[in-house]
């Protein structure tokens, strides 16, 4: 009964966006359900491998077709033109089905987990369908694993006042981050990135700073809302962000940023690759890291600037891995507070600078913006500082609440707590009106 | 579950109490029409007059122009303000090539400025006042709700606008961008002539006549590179409207083609403060 209602709600939610793509979701779900059972029941390893191969192949083909077809065809034509001859290509200009990158990864992890024996295949088609399409996380994650979500689906859930209360507070805080911080700063970011050649370097730095907090507030806000809705319905979903901007190196950053995707790539790409080629020594690790981040960049979008962004982060982690011992020696010679804070600042700078390519329209735009960052006009006082206080409120609040369950978890008396919730609610209502689509919906 | 629902209901009741308080406060605030005091000359229109006519140089004048202000907004603004301000003798109104562009018709729906425009005009325009223009009613009511119920405030006069001092910036201005916005759609096709600009210009002419106010239409100076890019249909339509206005015995002061030094421009279609002061003195002599 509970699952049937949630399944209908999930399909309604997805169909509301575009009912035509429901068939794709249903097809992918049904096929992976059958293949999961097949993998679980197959007696011979060859058979299991074959079924897994078919499942992974079909899932990736759908993703590649809808998300990357035009990109591959156009890139192929560009590469061909380097040899002097022009090639006419037919771009299909396909609509990207909402959430395809997210639910494909859920399906893949399910089949791989069944193959590895981490979970038994799900026999109930409705339970499995709900796992794939669970609406709070269907379109932008967190990318929940079958190992954690399926058991919750298969259990009767009971209402808990504390869990539901936490859910409401997470939704409220998520809305604050999305509407008050992300949607307001989005206008400035759009303007600065669109007209970067008109602005001084100091403004371009402000642009990437705003973008860092816009994308954080947008995506972590969405995750908070998804986790909050999950709690209201009796589910505990994965934490997707853990104060990423205090990371002291890029490796740590990816442990704190979009955690469900990072762990997915770690578990299903890097670890299997490294395990397979372990006898290559460090080379296997470096190649594994680069491959993982190349694919992570590609996952974000069908464009070279996303891949470049991924490769930059991969290269940074390779350098970090290769210099681990020397950095450790250095850390012993320098006062800890200086080393830690400097590491944090440098990591933050690297992240926001590389995000130029993440936000850019294409590689040319990214390089042009990047060049503009290092102009003499960096000393000019930038305009558009109006939203800095909003960003600071979010950052400071989350920092002060870092040891609590979430940002609105207080131990105060009820009247004071409720007053804070009311103030947050009215902040949201005040800034409501410039809604932007969630940033990660495009992926 | 009962306790949870009870708390949610109480919380939303508290929100409603704040809505009721804010709504009552704002309702009474809205009833006040702003006084123009001893203002005899009112400067109305879009961002071009907003930045080009310095009211400090014209005795008893007030510049209430605003960016993205089309004739329909100027009409309702004047209608509202003239009800209680009988000392106004002259109205200087923006009259230039982009004043007749259909891009101003599209500003009430799916435009980056839509929410901002509604946030200014809700006290003077209701959704029915837009006539045949397409408007995003949902956004309008959302803005109205926010302005009326979310918090009590006295700033319901954002439609009043005002003279804006700009610094020189022609060297960094985006000519293609502004021409694209004024005269072309997203697919770079000519956006065409506004479906209602001429009609509301006539309404303003009638309104000023009824109130015994002298209407002066002013085309402010543009940088010559901008003028070269104005599509011919807009120039023809502008000239047609100019003839029509002259037939109605309306004063038209056309400075569109005069050449000013580049240092007088903020960008290709706005004067900077130096340009505004120079131009205001020139305008004063002519009217």
What does the CA dihedral B98, B101, B106, B112 come to, rounded to 10 degrees?
A: -30
pLDDT over 80 (residue A86)? no
pLDDT over 80 (residue B102)? yes
* H helix or E strand, kind and range, residue B283: helix B273-286
Task: Evaluate whether B124 touches B15 at the Cβ level (below 8 Å).
Answer: no
Tokens, residue B82: 């003239």
> String of b and e for B151-173 (b: at least 16 CB within 10 Å)?
beeeebbebbbebbebebebeeb
**Closest of A59, A41, A47, A61 to residue A109, by C-alpha:** A59
**Residue B9 maps to a domain:** no
Q: What span, in angstroms and rounded, lies between the C-alpha atoms of B266 and A282?
A: 59
Residue B143: list chain A partners with CB under 8 A.
Answer: 433
Under 8 Å CB-to-CB from A293, ≥6 apart: which residues?
A310, A311, A313, A314, A317
> Nearest CA of chain A to the CA of B195: how many Å?
27
Task: Evaluate whether B208 touches B256 at the Cβ level (below 8 Å).
Answer: no
Q: What is the CATH number of the domain that holds B68?
A: 3.40.50.1110
Tell me whether residues A168 and B8 touch, CB distance under 8 A.
Answer: yes
Q: In this predicted model, what pLDDT tens digit does every residue of A231-262 receive, in sequence order? A: 999 999 988 999 999 999 999 999 999 999 99
C-alpha distances in angstroms, B77 versus B26, B63, B70, B71, B137?
A: 19, 13, 11, 10, 20
Tell me whether residues B11 and A165 touch, CB distance under 8 A.
Answer: no
| Res A94: pLDDT | 67
Range of the domain at B242: 32-286
Residue B1: list chain A partners with CB under 8 A.
Answer: 159, 161
Using a pLDDT cut of 70, give the percent of chain A over it.
94
**Closest of A112, A151, A122 to residue A266, by C-alpha:** A112
Question: Residue B3: which of A161, A429, A433 has the nearest Cβ?
Answer: A161
Least confident residue range of A25-34, A85-94, A324-333: A85-94
| Res A87: pLDDT | 63
> Nearest CA of chain A to the CA of B233: how many Å?
29
Categorize the per-residue pLDDT at B27 as very low, low, confident or very high, splitting at 50, 70 and 90.
very high
Question: What is the rounded average pLDDT of the residues A262-272?
Answer: 91
* H helix or E strand, kind and range, residue A78: helix A69-81
- Residue B65's Cα: distance from chain center in Å? 5
Q: What span, in angstroms and rounded, lies between the C-alpha atoms of A337 and A326?
A: 18
Task: Evaluate whether A399 touches A341 at the Cβ level (below 8 Å).
Answer: no
Q: What span, in angstroms and rounded, lies between the C-alpha atoms of B163 and B82?
A: 20
Helix axis angle for A282-300 and A304-322, nearest 10°, is: 150
Among chain B residues, the shortest Cα distance to A161 is held by B4
Task: Evaluate whether A235 touches A149 at the Cβ level (below 8 Å).
Answer: yes
> Nearest CA of chain A to the CA of B145: how many Å?
9
**Residue B6 maps to a domain:** no
What does the CA dihedral A223, A224, A229, A234 come to, rounded to 10 degrees?
A: 100
Under 8 Å CB-to-CB from B175, ≥6 apart: which residues?
B225, B226, B229, B268
Q: What span, in angstroms and rounded, lies between the C-alpha atoms of A313 and A114?
A: 31
C-alpha distances in angstroms, B170 versus A94, B184, B276?
A: 41, 22, 14
Plot region of A174 (φ>0 → left; ψ -120 to 50 → alpha; else → beta): alpha
Tokens, residue A82: 């380097």
pLDDT over 70 (residue A8)? yes
Higher pLDDT, A190 or B111: A190
Task: Evaluate whether B108 touches B76 at the Cβ level (below 8 Å).
Answer: no
Question: Residue A429: which of B119, B150, B172 has the nearest Cβ?
Answer: B150
**Closest of B118, B157, B203 to residue B35, by C-alpha:** B157
Categorize the per-residue pLDDT at A380 as very low, low, confident or very high, splitting at 50, 70 and 90.
confident
Tell me whether residues B142 and A432 touch, CB distance under 8 A.
Answer: yes
pLDDT over 90 (residue A440)? no
Q: What span, in angstroms and rounded, lies between the C-alpha atoms of B219 and A182?
A: 40
| Res A93: pLDDT | 67
**Closest of B168, B97, B104 to residue B134, by C-alpha:** B104
Q: What span, in angstroms and rounded, lies between the C-alpha atoms of A173 and A177?
A: 6
Residues in chain B whose Cβ is within 8 Å of chain A: 1, 3-4, 7-8, 11, 14-15, 18, 112, 115, 119, 139, 142-143, 146, 150-151, 172-174, 177
Q: What span, in angstroms and rounded, lies between the C-alpha atoms of A122 and A152?
A: 13
| Res A64: pLDDT | 81
Tell me whether residues B4 and A161 touch, CB distance under 8 A.
Answer: yes
Other residues' Cβ atoms within 10 Å of the Cβ of residue A57:
10
Among chain A residues, the shortest Cα distance to B4 is held by A161
Residues in chain A whose Cβ is within 8 Å of chain B: 159, 161, 164-165, 168, 187, 195, 198, 418, 421-422, 425-426, 429-430, 432-434
Residue A249, classed as helix, strand or coil, is: coil
Q: What span, in angstroms and rounded, lies between the C-alpha atoms of A301 and A67?
A: 8
Residue B219, classed as helix, strand or coil, is: strand
Other residues' Cβ atoms within 10 Å of the Cβ of residue A417:
15
Task: Evaluate whether B287 touches B253 at the Cβ level (below 8 Å).
Answer: yes
Q: In this predicted model, what pLDDT tens digit does every residue of B150-190 receive, in sequence order? A: 999 988 988 988 998 988 888 878 888 889 989 998 888 99
Tell me whether residues A426 and B18 touch, CB distance under 8 A.
Answer: yes
ω before A203 within 30° of 0 (cis)? no
Categorize the per-residue pLDDT at A382 as very low, low, confident or very high, splitting at 50, 70 and 90.
confident
Q: What span, in angstroms and rounded, lies between the C-alpha atoms of A100 and B209?
A: 62
Q: What span, in angstroms and rounded, lies between the C-alpha atoms of B47 and B107?
A: 14
Helix axis angle for B114-121 and B137-145, nearest 10°, is: 50
Residue A425, classed as helix, strand or coil, is: helix
pLDDT over 90 (residue A381)? no
Q: In this predicted model, what pLDDT tens digit does every residue of A119-152 receive, in sequence order? A: 999 999 999 999 999 888 877 778 888 899 999 9
Q: What span, in angstroms and rounded, lies between the C-alpha atoms of B102 and A390?
A: 36
Interface with chain A: mutation pick from B3, B4, B166, highest number of A CBs within 10 Å = B4
pLDDT over 80 (residue B112)? no
DSSP state of B101: B
Q: In this predicted model, what pLDDT tens digit does every residue of B231-269 receive, in sequence order? A: 999 999 999 999 999 999 999 999 988 999 999 999 999
C-alpha distances in angstroms, A276 versus A271, B63, B231?
A: 8, 75, 66
How many domains does one find in chain B? 1
Active site residues of A: 300
* H helix or E strand, kind and range, residue A339: helix A336-359
Higher pLDDT, A123 or A437: A123
Tell me whether residues B3 and A433 touch, CB distance under 8 A.
Answer: no
**Residue B194 maps to a domain:** yes
Among chain A residues, the shortest Cα distance to B19 is held by A426
> Nearest CA of chain A to the CA of B141: how many Å?
10
Tell me whether residues B151 and A430 touch, CB distance under 8 A.
Answer: yes
* H helix or E strand, kind and range, residue A207: helix A201-232
Tell me whether residues A433 and B18 touch, CB distance under 8 A.
Answer: no
C-alpha distances in angstroms, A236 versus A43, A145, A163, A171?
A: 34, 12, 9, 14
């Amino acid at each position: 009964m509970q699952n049937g209602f949630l399944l209908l709600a999930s399909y309604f939610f997805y169909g509301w966006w575009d009912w035509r793509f429901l068939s794709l979701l249903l097809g992918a779900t049904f096929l992976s359900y059958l293949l999961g059972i097949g993998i679980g029941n197959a007696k011979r390893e060859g058979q299991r491998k074959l079924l897994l191969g078919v499942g992974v192949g079909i899932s990736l083909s759908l993703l590649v077709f809808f998300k990357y077809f035009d990109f591959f065809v156009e890139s192929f034509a560009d590469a061909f033109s380097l040899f002097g001859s022009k090639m006419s290509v037919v771009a299909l200009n396909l609509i990207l089905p909402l959430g395809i990158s997210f639910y494909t990864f859920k399906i893949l992890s399910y089949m791989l987990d069944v193959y590895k024996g981490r979970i038994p295949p799900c026999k109930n088609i409705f339970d499995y369908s709900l796992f794939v399409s669970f609406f709070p996380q269907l379109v932008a994650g967190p990318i929940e694993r079958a190992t954690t979500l399926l058991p919750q689906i298969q259990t009767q859930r009971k209402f808990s006042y504390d869990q539901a209360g936490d859910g409401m507070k997470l939704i409220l805080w998520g809305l604050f981050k999305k509407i008050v911080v992300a949607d307001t700063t989005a206008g400035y970011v759009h303007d600065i990135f669109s007209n970067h050649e008109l602005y001084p370097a100091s403004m371009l730095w402000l642009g990437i700073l705003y973008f860092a907090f816009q994308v954080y507030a947008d995506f972590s806000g969405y995750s908070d809302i998804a986790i909050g809705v999950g709690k209201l319905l009796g589910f505990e979903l994965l934490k997707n962000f853990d104060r990423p901007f205090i990371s002291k190196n890029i490796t740590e950053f990816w442990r704190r940023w979009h955690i469900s995707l990072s762990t997915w790539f770690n578990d299903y790409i890097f670890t299997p690759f490294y395990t397979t080629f372990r006898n290559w020594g460090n080379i296997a690790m470096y190649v594994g890291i680069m491959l993982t981040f190349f694919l992570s960049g590609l996952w974000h979008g069908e464009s070279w600037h996303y891949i470049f962004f991924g490769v930059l982060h991969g290269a940074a982690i390779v350098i970090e891995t290769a210099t681990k011992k020397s950095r450790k020696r250095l850390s012993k010679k320098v006062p800890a507070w200086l080393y830690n804070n400097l590491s944090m600042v440098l990591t933050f700078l690297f992240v926001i600078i590389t995000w130029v390519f993440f936000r850019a329209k294409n590689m040319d735009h990214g390089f042009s913006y990047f060049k503009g960052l290092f102009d003499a006009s960096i000393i000019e006082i930038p305009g558009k500082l109006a939203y800095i206080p909003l960003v600071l409120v979010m950052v400071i609040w989350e920092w002060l609440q870092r040891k609590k369950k979430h940002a609105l978890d207080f131990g105060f008396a009820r009247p004071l707590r409720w007053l804070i919730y009311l103030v947050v609610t009215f902040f949201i209502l005040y800034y409501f009106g410039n809604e932007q689509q969630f940033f990660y919906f495009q992926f | 579950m009962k306790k949870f629902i009870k708390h949610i209901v109480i919380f939303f009741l508290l929100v409603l109490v704040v809505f009721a308080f804010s709504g009552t406060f704002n309702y009474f605030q809205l009833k006040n029409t702003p006084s123009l005091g001893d203002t005899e000359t009112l400067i109305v229109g879009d961002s071009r007059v907003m930045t080009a006519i310095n009211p400090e140089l014209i005795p008893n004048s007030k510049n209430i122009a605003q960016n993205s202000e089309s004739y329909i907004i100027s009409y309702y603004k004047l209608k509202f303000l003239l009800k209680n301000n009988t000392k106004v003798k002259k109205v200087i109104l923006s009259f230039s090539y982009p004043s007749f562009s259909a891009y101003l018709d599209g500003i009430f729906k799916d435009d980056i400025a839509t929410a901002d425009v509604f946030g200014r005009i809700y006290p003077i325009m209701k959704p029915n006042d837009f006539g045949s223009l397409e408007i995003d009613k949902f956004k309008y009511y959302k803005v109205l709700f926010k302005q009326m119920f979310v918090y009590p405030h006295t700033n319901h006069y954002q439609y009043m606008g005002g003279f804006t001092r700009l610094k020189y910036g022609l060297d960094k201005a985006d000519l293609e961008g502004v021409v694209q916005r004024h005269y072309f759609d997203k697919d770079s096709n000519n956006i065409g002539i506004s479906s209602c600009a001429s009609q509301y210009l006539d309404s303003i002419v009638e309104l000023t006549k009824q109130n015994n106010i002298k209407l002066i239409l002013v085309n402010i100076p543009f940088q010559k590179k901008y003028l070269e890019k104005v599509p011919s249909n807009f120039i023809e339509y502008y000239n047609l409207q100019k003839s029509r206005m002259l037939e109605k015995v309306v004063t038209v002061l056309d400075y569109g083609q005069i050449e000013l030094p580049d240092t007088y421009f903020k960008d290709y279609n706005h004067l900077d403060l130096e340009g505004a002061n120079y131009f205001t003195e020139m305008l004063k002599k002519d009217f």
